[in-house]
Amino acid sequence: MGPLLERAQQGMPLFGTCAGMVLLAREIEDSAQLRLGLMDVTVRRNAFGRQVESFEADLLIPVLGEQPFRGVFIRAPYVTRVGPEVEVLCWLEDKAVLVRQGKNLAAAFHPELTGDLRLHRYFLTVVAGCKD
């Protein structure tokens, strides 16, 4: 964790998905789990239930356009509190499932399990500041 934290503090962008969202969080409800604490959010681990309660849902993510993004939620967390520097990019009902703070992005779902590359492109071009 030390080298990763050091690189992030030097400006390296991070994109955490599912457990990665938990690692990026400043606080984790009811847990003393090791974390990087780089995003001013509180998360609830396994918030949607156990493995057998995993699901998929169409998500509206305005920064990606009008077409829904298929979210794959596997024992997923969600954000229960956001700090003033955190932008919620997507809600599932009343639960924040995609957040951004500066160069860091965190998703409660697994975008890598779909063929839709829009969120990865958003991270690379907008958040990380890379050019196509």
Q: Which residues are catalytic?
A: 18, 110, 112
Q: From CA 112, how far away is CA 119, in angstroms rounded?
A: 9
Query: What single letter denotes the amino acid at residue 85?
Result: E
Instruction: Please answer whether residues 79 and 98 qualify as being in contact, where contact means their C-beta atoms are separated by less than 8 angstroms.
Output: no
Q: From CA 43, how far away is CA 82, in angstroms rounded?
A: 9
Three-class SS state of 4: helix
Instruction: Please answer whether residues 77 and 44 qualify as being in contact, where contact means their C-beta atoms are separated by less than 8 angstroms.
Output: yes
Please report, to the nearest 10 degrees, the dihedral formed by the alpha carbons of residues 121, 112, 98, 13 taken in order.
-60
